[in-house]
Structure 1
Amino acid sequence: MPPPIELSSTEQAADTPSPSPAGTAREPIPVDPGLPLVGNLLQIKPGALGQHLLARSRHHDGIFELNFAGRRVPFVTSVALASEVCDATRFRKYIGPPLSYLRGMAGDGLFTAHSDEANWGKAHRILMPAFSQRAMKGYFDVMLRVANRLVDKWDRQGPDADIAVADDMTRLTLDTIALSGFGYDFESFARADLHPFIEAMVGALEEAMGKLTRFALQDRFMHAAHRKFDEDTRFMRDLVDDVIRRRRADGAAGPGHGTKNDLLGLMLEARDPDTDQRLDDENIRNQVITFLIAGHETTSGLLTFALYELLRNPGVMAQAYAEVDAVLPGDAAPIYADLARLPVLDRVLKETLRLWPTAPAFAVAPFEDTLLGGRYLIRKDRRMSVVLTALHRDPKVWADPERFDIDRFLPEREAQLPRHAYMPFGNGERACIGRQFALTEAKLALALMLRNFQFTDAHDYQFRIKETLTIKPDGLTVRARRRRPHERIAAAQATATTQAVQAGPEVLGGGRPLAVLCGSSLGTARELAEQVHAGAVAAGFDATLRDLDEVADALPATGLAVIIAATYNGRAPDSARRFEALLDSGAASGYRAQGLRVAVLGCGNSQWPTYQAFPRRVYDFFTQAGATPLLPRGEADGNGDFDQAAERWLALLWQALQAGDGADGPAHGTPAIRVQVKDVAEIRASTLPANTQGFTVLANAELVNDPTGLWDFAREAPRTSTRDIRLRLPEGVRYATGDHLAVYPQNQPEIVTALCERIDIDPDAIVTLSAPGGTARGLPLGEALSARQLLTHFVELQDVVSRQTLRLLSQHSRCPVTRQALQQLASDEAETGYAAQVASRRLGLADVLDRFPAIELDLAGLLACAVPMRPRFYSIASSPLVSPDVATITVGMVWSPALSGRGLFRGVASTWLQGLAPGAMVAGTIRTPNPAFAPAADPATPMILIGPGTGIAPFRGFLEERAAQQAAGQAVAPVQLYYGCRHPLHDWLYRDDVERWRAQGVAQLHLACSVVDGEPRYVQDLLWQRRADVWTRLGEGAIVYVCGDGRHMAPAVRQVLLQIGAEQGGMTPEAASDWLAELVSTGRYRQDVFN
């Protein structure tokens, strides 16, 4: 847990010059003006040092100094300079005040120990397995139990109680770390006041911070404060000694944890893998105090800040509610795997930690004299503090840095952040060891809070910060009302389950040598490696299991190698450091491995910026040395479904090992097994039209901005997510402006899993289809696929069921009531038949199966009811004159309460496309609309483009083409663009492009805004307002193009044009209708609309 400020006796005196080495350029670090003797000390409000640093950082460019009564302290606030001080070859972690003051309380615990102290390395190595991915799953039940205590308390208090948020978050996080880490229950929710441990801790932290702003002489006379610090320390130590005594007496893990491998169990029992020593009793006490403080104080602050930001940002709160309702419907107990399905909450927590890193600074010092930024001389061992609250607001990296914007952490945007732009848990090997624990606990708690309660700020809270060693909102109170069933919008969703994948008897090793190599720190990679080794031995391989370090001096050059490795802060894990040193030194540059076949699986957590760094380096090293990959490099992500990813990769591994090759055939005369491996994309392609090819995603960006504060959402809901997706065309494929891209999407994993559970088939079961006539439209006959792959790629699962399907389903039930009800739904009865009960409610197959549990359906029956996956058509929003090899599509997220009443409806294609990362493949084909929807061939022909919302997509291509033609010197008629949105700061799509083209004279813009008072609400209103100009343009030969909603907008535009013809042209209604029909027949009125 990095401290906010660290001062020490090694700080440079304010009046001491710092001579530069000969020949070294140097600039003085900017210093805030202060007073004689006291420097800047009196400018800092008591208890507000961190806030003062943030405020002063806005007046400096990345670095400044404050003078604390004669000691100058440098503070780093820019990403550029922070990247330098985080270089572990130049700078080290520095322990100074106030953290060093806490050594009197926590001794050489992990966060107060110096890096060169033996106990730091020993404890770090012993305790790391307690924070592995598998350990998090072990802690989950305890986390859930404590979070339910919070929910129960708020229920008991009722909707009119004022909840002191920070206090209850403290109760939650203290009980969680104590129970899961040490088997000790503080029972904080059974107390009206906070536990005395909290009072003692807060008192000690406040005293440590108070010392910073005192004169040395003044501090000598603070006898009462010193006495209170000693009393608080003694109380905490006595309590911890009691916890340890109870554990020793029990001889087991104690309540709340069923294994000795919790934190306290490891401290008491485990030996350091390097020294074979155990922790001594005094260090165990120091570690327990450290984790009781650090394990709850920062997380409670995070949750308090998160709730504060959600209350201030109702648009984000709505997203969070929708996600929680979808993933945690009803009152079913959440499971660990559910946490991986909460990306919005992930982003809420990350953005909260950006603005309010609860441990808001850490300190470093250089090993030698060094120049920072090529300008500022920093002497050896001089402490510098990195101010995270300022770093996370560096305007050179973070646009509009004070705004709470969770989309900063969309995967594609987060991947573009500089490495050291975001460090809420510190940096390097001294980064917070409990990061994964904290985020797991916080996400679960926040999810349960949102699932159960609606929150209000009844007292118009005025934001202020309380600073100890950490920060949190001071005095925040809320009221929590139980959410009513109708306020939840999500349907129940099944959770996928997986089974361990073992080497089956069909995998024949035949005595072939196989090296299983491991790089692990926390033990997770080691467990997987042991699983592979055991399976390989059982299958007849001559298998060995070794750490990567053990083969650093004798790298394998032939045979088979399976490597499973993790990453630790971007570097090698503990058992692969010698191997990494080999790579760093270049000593292995002559290594050749043309005879080696290799497979690599990387373990990690994508919440860390260095995710997969070391496994990727291992894979590249071996393949660049000539090794042949057995299969693509795998990734098991602790921030997702780790077990499922690992097991799927292991299944592919056994398949690849089963295939073997001729040279490595089984020994002892065992017949070689030959396997033809086909990717599901290859199988799918065989069922699609011949011109379908793979388009590569280049970028996937959000177009909609946060609407918070722009209007009252009761008037009109904000637009859902809308994506700008750029795709590289396959070789030889071309498109024309106005063409469509037909996309074959994939079904949502949760729907597939739920259906597999409903028809009682393992999603990973391998099936092969056959048909009596040898054909089945859109299905892959004779191919081995999992049930999951079959239902994901080949059939529609969300289409409205047909009458024929309802009749077919009635034949799959032995219940006469069910059969009669299904036949009634298929009838033409006005109120009880198909139109009213099925079509209007858009009942899908899953809806019907849920509604009628007596339907007995297997996979064959389900496939008979489903239709083949059909393409979705998207207007291409670019012009080949500008990007001949890249096509852009505009994808609006279809996301609304389901008409069936079953929670939230998510469109098949938009949901799938929204989540695609760069590099993903999209099966599709270019299609020219019939009739054509293309810009006039002669650029001098005027055009009127009418396209609100995503209807702007083809018109972006039109305008891009006209701009290119104008730039090439052609005469271009100005284009009239009628565009509609809710609010120009929220969902004016492609605004920058349109304003650029308007400035160039390519387009004349007319804007309708449905939630802005005093402006036309819709494009049809805008057309009528400008009817004289529209009539003039039509008289000049303009072509009218309409794109977008065909149910409401397009008919309204047509009606307005008829009215314009009647008024401006003096026509009768019949003549106006004939006039418009002539425009259509001559190609001067064209539509590309959707329902």
Structure 2
Amino acid sequence: MIPIMVLAERAWIIDDPRLLDELTAKPETFGKLCNKGIMSELRKIGGDGLFTSADHEENWGMAHRILIPAFSQKALRVYIPEMCRQAKKLLDALCKGSSQTDVDVPKWMTKITIETISMCGFSYAFHGLDKEEDDPFVKAMGYCLEEVQLNSMRTKIGQFINRKRQEQFDHSMKYVESVVKNVIEERRKSGVKVDPNQPRDFLDIMLSEGLRMYPSAGAYAKDVLKDDSLGGVPVKENDFVAVSVYAMHFNTTYWGDDAEKFNPDRFNPEEEAKRHPSAYSPFGSGPRACLGAQFALLEARIILAYIYYHLHVSASPNAVPRLIQKTAFKPERLYLRFKKRTTPNIRNASPFTAPSRTSTPVTRERSEVVLTNGTPDDQIVSLASVSGGMPVVNILYGSNMGTCEEMASNFANHLRKSGANVEVRSLDNWNDLEDTKLAIIITSTYNGLPPDNAKKFDQNIKNLLLKSESKMKKLRTFQAFPKYVDKSLYSLGGIRIMPKGEGNVDDGCDIEKHFSDWQEEFWKTVKTIYNFVPSKTPIEELMGEQVNIMPLTQDQLNGLEIMNPCPLSSAKLHKIEKIKELQSKESSFRTLHVELALQQNQKYSTGDHFGIVAPNSKKDVLLVLNNLILPESIHA
């Protein structure tokens, strides 16, 4: 910790992730700094909104709750088509000139960022990618942000001397507010509609290394709300702590002596496991971390993938880029040259796969919730066969963004199809804990805190634990609430019958696949414990059903006629005449012998093949064609 004096106020600068963890774990002592420096000036633009309000202000909590669902995994999927449309428009803009034309990359990246946010969030287009000049709104907003930065460094006299710039600021702000008001009114009239989650790959680690070396926010500050200590050093009320993200990302203790070099391999799983998890914090930490981080990373992945597949890129000999600090770090004089490929770069190595790189899964060690009478996470109780049949399966969720609630609902539907009696509730609505025989808990955590619909449950659990005289140690944020629930229920007499599943979106894991694999293992375990035989649809109900059969040529099967697909109109209905179950009644699998009636003049010869293909919605098919830049006319 480095103490400095700023205008008669004491500030502490930190660049160590261990101190960042301590600071994050004390929200009652360290709150977001909103009344000093540039943050106080930014309030002239944002008021007491999400970014510019203090932790205790009512509007921060309200804005936070409103915006969280907009950045859920479910919501991000909705944004992908629009992000792809904007990426294709960007390609056209980058290639307007010749292959020797110098393109101002930061300028066009700013344009696509604004266009993507406005379209995904409000269905409002500024058409910035269709023209060279900036929209008046963008110009006005840019002027306001620049003036905010300059004003934060001026004295009162300096602000008075520059009163003409203040008049221009007021004029620009009125224009910005009028446009925003108009967008919101139009959006309200039209109504609001509301796989980003990919495995960790080469493109991801390239982005991560780029954000390590060039974080958008080089630092952020926390206000000291009361006398306390940080890293064993006393801090006083009204001091403030500056977290130097830039310095932390170059701290050789965590990044090595070559921290100045660009090396994406730092983010391979093996290297990440060796490093303190908070050493990399480009989007902040704690409850005030950037809500739109996954949105930004998804947009970046899509843009880079489109450029990789469709453009040749070269550096301009006239470029002498440098990094400048405005309201955020930004490159200046960064010029590149672009040329469209004659054919998409789909045969070369994918940007989503690291070349010649192999890795094995590595589990990063993190602090865990520990109860004095708890069990290790991996201790599972093997139950003998239980008589009395399958009890009610209680699926309980804690969810802010809707992801865990959706998982709970889908899992319940899967179990119900097998004949299980299932109840789905939020954790706050779980009022019969002591009478529950079988429970599945699917919950998220936000920086260690319980989701909004699990806060009452959290308090109830704490009260029960206090009655049983359990004592808890300090929590770390990763999976803190789910682990706390898991161990608390054990302390209250619950039996863990299989390992819990974990998924972390921030690490780029495929959380849905992890959950799917876990629920299959759960189902196997439960069927064994309760001697449960899943119900099957009686085959008699399938007799007489009719199915569509479409004849395909050999060329179509080989994919040689993809541009001339077989029309759906050629499909004909065929009646199921005979169906027989080939598996035993005890088997949980189904193998059916099916005989179909051929229509007049139809033949089925030895060597012919019959395949079953699940139908896809037109919307999904067009999305795939659009992303591959193939004509929609080939949709069958």
Residue of structure 2 aligned with 1:147, choices 80, 87, 97:
87
Distance 1:661 1:512 in 2: 8
Q: Is the 8 A contact 2:419 2:534 kept in 1?
A: no
- How many angstroms apart in 2 are the aligned matches of 1:188 and 1:813? 57
**2:485 corresponds to 1:618:** yes
Q: Secondary structure at the match of 2:62?
A: helix
Corresponding residue SS for 2:223: strand
**CA distance 1:625–1:72, shift in 2 (3 Å):** closer
Cα pair 2:392 2:438 within 8 Å, conserved: yes
The runs of 5 or more residues in structure 2 that have no matched partner are: 352-386, 471-475, 536-557, 559-581, 592-605, 613-636
**Counterparts of residues 134-173 of structure 1 (less than 5 Å):** 134-173=74-113
1:118 equivalent to 2:58? Answer yes
Match of 2:252? Answer: 395
**What does 1:1014-1029 align with in structure 2 at a 5 Å threshold?**
none
* CA displacement at 1:148 relative to structure 2: 0.8
CA RMSD of aligned residues (A): 3.7
Superposed CA deviations along residues 427-446 of structure 1, whole A, max 9, x for unmatched, are 11111111111111111111
**Does residue 646 of the first structure (1) align with residue 504 of the second (2)?**
no
Given candidates 396, 408, 411, the residue that maps to 1:532 is 411
Does the Cα contact within 8 Å between 2:390 and 2:530 map onto a contact in 1? no
Counterpart in 2 of 1:422? 280
Q: Is this contact kept in 2: 1:567–1:613, CA < 8 A?
A: yes
The amino acid of 2:108's aligned partner reads D
Please name the residue that 2:500 is paired with: 633
Which one of the candidate residues 46, 50, 74 is aligned to 2:12? Answer: 74
* Cα offset, 1:111, TM superposition: 0.3
The CA deviation at 1:76 is 2.4
Tell me by how many angstroms 1:660 deviates: 4.2
Q: Report what 1:1055 is aligned to.
A: none
8 A Cα contact 1:132 1:522, kept in partner: yes
Distance, in Å, in 2 between the alignment partners of 1:154 and 1:533 is 48
Question: What secondary structure sits across from 2:397 in the alignment?
Answer: strand
Shift of 1:213: 2.4
- Residues 370-385 of structure 1 mapped to structure 2, 5 A cutoff: 370-375=228-233, 377-385=234-242
Which residue of 406, 423, 430 corresponds with 2:264?
A: 406
Aligned AA for 2:259? Answer: P
Residue 94, structure 1, aligned to residue 37, structure 2 = no
Pick closer, same or farther for the CA change 1:372–1:630 going to 2, 3 Å: closer
* Matched-pair identity in %: 31
Matched residue SS, 2:348: coil
1:631 Cα offset (Å): 3.7
Among 105, 127, 130, the alignment partner of 2:45 is: 105
Q: Verify: 1:473 aligned to 2:331, yes or no.
A: yes
Q: What corresponds to 1:658 in structure 2? A: 527
Moved more, 397-406 or 648-657: 648-657
1: CA distance, partners of 2:486 / 2:465: 17
1:1002-1027 Cα shifts (integer Å, max 9, x gaps): xxxxxxxxxxxxxxxxxxxxxxxxxx
Counterpart AA for 2:397: C
1:464 paired residue number? 322
Amino acid at match of 2:424: L
Whole-Å Cα distance in 1 between the matches of residues 243 and 456 of structure 2? Answer: 31
Note if contact 2:308-2:345 (Cα within 8 Å) is conserved in structure 1. no
Q: 1:103 to 1:624 in 2, by over 3 A?
A: same
Instruction: Return the index of the structure with the highest Cα Rg.
Output: 1
Amino acid at match of 2:55: S
Deviation for aligned residue 1:382: 2.2
Question: 1:1020-1063 deviations in whole A, cap 9, x for unaligned?
Answer: xxxxxxxxxxxxxxxxxxxxxxxxxxxxxxxxxxxxxxxxxxxx
Q: Does 1:571 align with 2:449?
A: yes
- Within 5 Å, give how 1:789-828 maps onto structure 2: none
Contact 1:99–1:112 at 8 Å: present in 2 too? yes
CA distance change for structure 1 residues 79 and 486 in 2, over 3 Å: closer, same or farther? Answer: closer
Letter in 2 for 1:547: S
What does 1:303-702 align with in structure 2 at a 5 Å threshold? 336=195, 340-341=198-199, 343-375=201-233, 377-399=234-256, 400-459=258-317, 461-483=319-341, 489-490=347-348, 512-536=391-415, 541-551=420-430, 555-556=433-434, 558-581=436-459, 587=465, 590=468, 612-623=479-490, 627-636=494-503, 638=505, 639-661=508-530, 673=533
Residues in 1 aligned to 2:345 and 2:442: alpha-carbon distance in whole angstroms: 46
Aligned pairs, number: 508
Kept in 2: contact 1:519–1:575 (CA 8 A): yes
Deviation sequence 1:13-35 (CA, Å, 0-9, x none): xxxxxxxxxxxxxxxxxxxxxxx
Q: Distance in 2 between matches of 1:342 and 1:654?
A: 28
| Distance in structure 2 (CA, Å) of the matches to 1:82 and 1:486 | 45
Using the TM superposition, give the Cα deviation of residue 217 of structure 1 relative to its aligned residue in structure 2, in angstroms.
2.2
For 1:182, the equivalent position in structure 2 comes to 122
Q: 1:418 to 1:454 in 2, by over 3 A?
A: same
Partner of 1:201: 141
Alpha-carbon distance in 1 for matches of 2:243, 2:162: 30
Residues 491-550 of structure 1 show CA distances to partners (whole Å, capped at 9, x for unaligned) of 899xxxxxxxxxxxxxx9967323221111111111222333455566555543332234
Matches within 5 A, 1:882-961: none
CA distance in 1, matches of 2:348, 2:341: 13
Query: Residues 812-857 of structure 1: CA distance to partner in whole angstroms, max 9, x if unpaired?
Result: 988xxxxxxxxxxxxxxxxxxxxxxxxxxxxxxxxxxxxxxxxx79
**Partner of residue 552, structure 2:** none
CA gap of 1:225–1:252, structure 2 versus 1, over 3 A, is same
Match of 1:252 in 2: 191
- The alpha-carbon distance between structure 1 residues 345 and 556, as it changes in their structure 2 partners (threshold 3 A), is farther
Partner of 2:379: none
Letter in 1 for 2:261: R
Q: In 2, Cα distance between the equivalents of 1:236 and 1:150?
A: 25
Instruction: Give the secondary-structure state (helix, strand or coil) at the position aligned to 1:432.
Output: coil
Distance 1:518 1:187 in 2: 42
Per-residue deviation, 1:243: 0.6
CA distance, structure 2, for counterparts of residue 468 and residue 540 of structure 1? 61
AA partner of residue 614 (structure 1): F
What CA distance in whole angstroms lies between the structure 1 residues aligned with 2:462 and 2:270? 29
What 5-or-longer segments of structure 1 have no aligned partner?
1-61, 254-258, 262-335, 494-507, 593-608, 663-671, 676-753, 755-768, 771-782, 788-811, 815-855, 860-1091
| Pairing of 1:648-797 with structure 2 (within 5 A) | 648-661=517-530, 673=533
CA distance in 1, matches of 2:43, 2:415: 50
- Taking structure 1 as reference, are residues 582 and 417 closer, same or farther at Cα in structure 2, changes over 3 Å only? farther
Residue of structure 2 in register with 1:84 after alignment: 22
What is residue 355 of structure 2 aligned with on the other side? none
Q: Which residue of 2 aligns with 1:759?
A: none
Alpha-carbon offset, residue 185 of structure 1: 0.9
> What SS class does the counterpart of residue 147 from structure 2 fall into?
helix
For the structure 1 residues 452 and 431, does the alpha-carbon distance in structure 2 shift closer, same or farther, using more than 3 Å as the test?
Answer: same
SS in 1 for 2:152: helix
- TM-aligned CA distance change 1:133 to 1:589, over 3 Å: farther
CA offsets per residue over residues 274-322 of structure 1, 9 Å max, x none?
Answer: xxxxxxxxxxxxxxxxxxxxxxxxxxxxxxxxxxxxxxxxxxxxxxxxx
User: CA 1:65 to 1:556, structure 2 compared with 1: closer, same or farther past 3 Å?
Assistant: same
State the AA in 1 paired with 2:533.
I
- Please tell me whether the aligned partners of residues 533 and 588 of structure 2 are also in contact (alpha carbons under 8 angstroms): no
| Aligned counterpart for 1:235 among listed residues 175, 196, 216 | 175
Q: CA deviation at 1:152?
A: 1.8
Sort the Cα spacing of 1:234 and 1:633 in 2 relative to 1 into closer, same or farther, 3 A. Answer: same
* Helix, strand or coil at the partner of 2:198: helix
Letter in 2 for 1:525: C
**Structure 1 residues 185 and 858 mapped into 2: Cα distance closer, same or farther (>3 Å)?**
closer
| Residues 1:159 and 1:429: Cα distance change in structure 2 (over 3 Å) | same
- Pick closer, same or farther for the CA change 1:462–1:447 going to 2, 3 Å: same
The CA distance in 2 between the partners of 1:369 and 1:636, in whole Å, is: 37
